Structure formats: structure tokens, C-alpha cells
Chains A and B, each alone.
Chain A
Amino acid sequence: IAGITQAPTSQILAAGRRMTLRCTQDMRHNAMYWYRQDLGLGLRLIHYSNTAGTTGKGEVPDGYSVSRANTDDFPLTLASAVPSQTSVYFCASSDYHNTGELFFGEGSRLTVL
């Protein structure tokens, strides 16, 4: 059972470069989310999607974009990376009823130099 798969696991990136973090789920969950985790700040929501074809902004959306062309995939793109985007990024999903249980991937560690 794969659950949520994120790629890459880690990446070092030069500032100004474009980067896409991939996320795929095989649970047929309707909702998907991208969080960033920074020391002392917990998990902050970047963007979310309640269902395929729709997306919404979270708490810290600036500098990031997402798309949801189908149920399974939810890529996160940094159009022009900056050092403050150095973080660990987690993709998550939840089912239609969204009782609060999120299923997380193992994270993508991004370093922007």
C-alpha cells in the first residue's frame, strides 16, 4: 500500500530556478494539501484542493502554485525559488468526509541557495 508518494525526497536548488515537487496518492481521496514545516512554526498550509479541478490558497501561498488535473496528482511549483523557501514540504490527503484525519507523505526537503 503506497498511500502518498512524494518526489524528490530532497533537492538542493539555486535561487531563481523553477522547481516542481510531485505528489501522488492512490487512496482516491478527494482533498489534497501542501504544507511546509519549519522549526518552531509547525505545519503551515500552502495550498489545498478539495476536489479535482479546484484549488485554494492556504496560510502561506505566496511564491507557490498548484494544479489538480486529476484525483491522484497534486504538484507544487516554485516558479522562482528564494532562500526563504528552504523547508521540508509535506503533501497530504483526506477523504470526502474530512473528519480531520490527514494522510501525509514522507516529505521533500528543499534547500535553496
Chain B
Amino acid sequence: GQQLNQSPQSMFIQEGEDVSMNCTSSSIFNTWLWYKQDPGEGPVLLIALYKAGELTSNGRLTAQFGITRKDSFLNISASIPSDVGIYFCAGQETSGSRLTFGEGTQLTVNP
């Protein structure tokens, strides 16, 4: 089946720093999504990307759908303590197909 490689696995940063994480796939996806999981809760959708090359922002978060359709990245600018959590990328091969999730990036923000 498809595999998503997400990196880095973990990040320890200072408040105010920018963060970047990415996901690569062995398959082409039509949809890329980024989820965040707060400690003790279920994942919540942050950004959805539906077109190759698309760049989408949600507040301090920016995500891009790679031109090859095999990768995506998520940037967080000016990190704050509440950005702590696990960030998951997910890909969908076709509309309506099941998602494949990456292994997650554990983000720690030191005040």
C-alpha cells in the first residue's frame, strides 16, 4: 500500500521560532491534508489542499501541495506554546478514497 514519510519525527523549538515539516509519498495523491492532535484529544483538520502547486494559509500556518503531487509541507510562523502537539499529514489518492496518514511530527515549544 501507499506509504507516507513524514519528517522530522520530533522538534524542540523556542517560542517565536518558525517551524517546517514535510511529507513525501511513493504514490500520487489528489488531496493532501494536515491535522493537529492536541495532547489527550483526537486530531483536528488544519488545512486541506486539493490542487498541485496550491499554497494555502490558515493564520500562522501555511501548507503547500507539491507540484509532483507526491509531497507537501507545513510551515508554522512565530510559534507559540499552544502550537504544541502532534502534526499529521494525510493523503487521499482520489476523491472519496480512504486517507493514508504519516507517522506524525511531535512539536514541543519552549516558552
**Interface pair B48/A107, CB less than 8 Å apart:** no
Q: Is the interface of B mostly helix, strand, loop or mixed?
A: loop
A97 to B97: give the CA distance in the assembly, Å.
10
Chain B 46-84 per-residue mask, 1 if CB under 8 angstroms from chain A, else 0: 001010000000000000000000000000000000000
Kindly identify which residue among A33, A90, A99, A107 contacts B31, using a CB–CB cutoff of 8 Å: A99
A48 contacts B98, CB within 8 Å? yes
Q: Which of B9, B42, B50 is close to A107, meaning CB atoms less than 8 Å apart?
A: B42
User: Closest approach, in angstroms, between the C-beta of A40 and any C-beta of chain B?
Assistant: 6
Residues of A within 8 A of B41 (CB): 106-107
Query: Any chain B CB within 8 A of the CB of A62?
Result: no
User: Residues of B contacting A44 with CB < 8 Å?
Assistant: 101
**8 Å CB contact of A42 from B42, B97, B103:** B103
Question: Contact mask A91-109 → B, CB, 8 Å, 1/0?
Answer: 0100001111110111100
**CB proximity to B under 8 Å, residues A22-52:** 33, 35, 40-45, 48
Min Cβ gap A106→B in Å is: 5
Closest to A90 in B: B42
CB contacts (< 8 Å) of B9 on chain A: these are: 40
| Chain B residue at smallest Cβ distance from A45 | B98
Q: 4 new A-B pairs (CB below 8 Å) besides A101-B33, A102-B35?
A: A42-B102, A43-B88, A97-B95, A98-B95
B99 at the interface (CB under 8 A from A): yes
Bound Cα distance A4, B44 (Å): 12
- The reply to whether B88 and A104 contact each other, CB–CB distance below 8 Å, is no
CB-defined contacts of B25 to chain A, threshold 8 Å: none
Q: Say whether, besides A42-B88, A42-B103, A42-B104, A99 and B42 are in contact (CB < 8 Å).
A: no
